[in-house]
């Protein structure tokens, strides 16, 4: 009988421990671009959407959701790794409400960037408006949970920022506006200033756990490699170097703000090296194709997204790193997310 009592006591302690671990991060709150958009762009007047086949074919239910992938995006995997739901819903998706958003929500909009001029290119949701939606969300959360519980959720939630690639590829290097105003280094500094101000605003709104995402090796995206004819369609080294340089500044920003803002847990989540390693050593990860997207025509893809009902879409996306010319497959997203969780975000679990 004594052993039975001890067993029950141990079980109770284990259950309590599991509860505490899972409660360390009660919610995931996401800001950013198409890397973490789960369908917000479906609800706004923009051409930049992925609410059509073949997108979402490997997502639960096999239907397009507005995620720019064949399945889940990185924040979906991060949410699950933290003991929360296996996907993070879009704030503007009418299928969900505050009871869903209390555990996870993304305000991200495909095509956006730190620079408001970037979001203007395709008429998507700018970062400042994502913050306004977050304030609205906080008000709804307080009505739903009550003030004390809502504040605890906001303080404990992991706030994830994933953006920046569009500022360079869809803005600076595509249109003459910013490139005629700023050198590439000056433009990076402009974006760093915007990122810093955004983090400070999150902090003043109660956020204490924040992950600032870095840039991928953006010169290796199929959309960019197709233009590198003289370089044999290899990765564009200059773009990768800019990503590395900008990532260094983002890392410096996290260091400075960690000293400036008391009680903040601000981390830099860098996908660059794991992403590049997959591209350079694909067989180690079970990939076979690195330069062409799954929903491409067999040639290098020219557009930002897949074509509707593309008859050339590959049969097995798990063999491809890229789903479309700009975005990874679900398998690649899973590998990148797993790396970031284990090497950076594990401290929040």
Active-site residue list: 34, 324, 327
**Cβ-count burial of 247 within 10 angstroms (0-12 exposed, 13-18 middle, 19+ buried)?**
buried
Contact 25, 102 (CB under 8 A): no
Looking from the CA of 116 toward its CB, the CA atoms found within 13 Å total 6
**Which residue is it, tokens 């810093």?**
196
Q: Let me know how many helices (H) and strands (E) the chain has, helices first.
A: 13, 5
Query: Which residue from 264, 137, 138, 161 is spatially nearest to 209, judged by alpha carbons?
Result: 264
φ and ψ at residue 237, rounded to 5 degrees: -60, -40
In whole angstroms, what is the distance from residue 260 CA to residue 264 CA? 9
Residues linked to residue 340 through DSSP beta bridges, in sequence order: none
Structure tokens at 48: 């930049």
- The C-alpha angle 154, 39, 48, rounded to 5 degrees, equals 130
> How is residue 306 annotated by DSSP?
P
Cβ count near 110 (within 10 Å)? 29
Structure tokens at 18: 């599991």
Q: Write the CA distances from 228 to 223, 224, 244, 343, integer angstroms.
A: 10, 7, 19, 33
Contact 203, 263 (CB under 8 A): no
Contact 267, 254 (CB under 8 A): yes
* Beta pairing, strands 158-162 & 104-106: unpaired
Residues linked to residue 210 through DSSP beta bridges, in sequence order: 159, 266
Structure tokens at 142: 């307080």
């Amino acid at each position: 009988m004594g052993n039975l009592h001890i067993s029950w006591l141990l079980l109770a302690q284990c259950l309590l421990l599991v509860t505490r671990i899972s409660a360390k991060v009660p919610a995931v709150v996401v800001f950013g671009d198409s890397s973490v958009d789960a369908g917000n762009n479906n609800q706004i007047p923009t051409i930049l959407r992925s609410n059509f086949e073949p997108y979402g074919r490997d997502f639960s239910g096999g239907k397009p959701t507005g995620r720019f992938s064949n399945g889940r995006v990185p924040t979906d995997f991060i949410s699950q790794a933290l003991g929360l739901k296996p996907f993070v819903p879009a704030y503007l998706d009418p299928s969900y409400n505050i009871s869903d958003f209390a555990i996870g929500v993304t305000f991200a909009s495909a095509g956006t960037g730190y620079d408001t001029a970037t979001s203007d290119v395709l008429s998507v949701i700018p970062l400042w408006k994502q913050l306004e939606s977050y304030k609205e969300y906080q008000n709804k959360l307080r009505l739903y949970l009550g003030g004390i519980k809502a504040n605890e959720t906001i303080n404990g939630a992991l706030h994830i920022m994933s953006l920046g690639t569009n500022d360079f590829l869809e803005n600076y290097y595509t249109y003459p506006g910013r490139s005629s105003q700023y050198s590439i280094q000056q433009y990076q500094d402009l974006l760093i200033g915007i990122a810093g101000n955004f983090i400070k605003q999150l902090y003043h709104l109660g956020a204490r756990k924040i992950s600032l995402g870095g840039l991928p090796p953006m010169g290796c995206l199929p959309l960019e490699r197709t233009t590198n004819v003289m370089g044999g369609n290899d990765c564009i080294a200059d773009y990768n170097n800019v990503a590395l340089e900008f990532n260094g500044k983002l890392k410096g920003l996290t260091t400075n703000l960690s000293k400036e803002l008391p009680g903040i847990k601000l981390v830099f989540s860098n996908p660059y090296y794991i992403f590049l390693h997959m591209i350079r050593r694909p067989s180690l990860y079970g990939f076979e194709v690195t330069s062409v997207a799954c929903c491409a025509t067999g040639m290098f893809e020219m557009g930002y997204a897949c074509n509707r009902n593309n008859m050339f879409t590959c049969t097995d996306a798990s063999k491809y790193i890229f789903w479309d010319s700009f975005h990874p497959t679900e398998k690649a997203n899973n590998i990148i997310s797993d790396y970031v969780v284990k090497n950076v975000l594990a401290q929040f679990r």
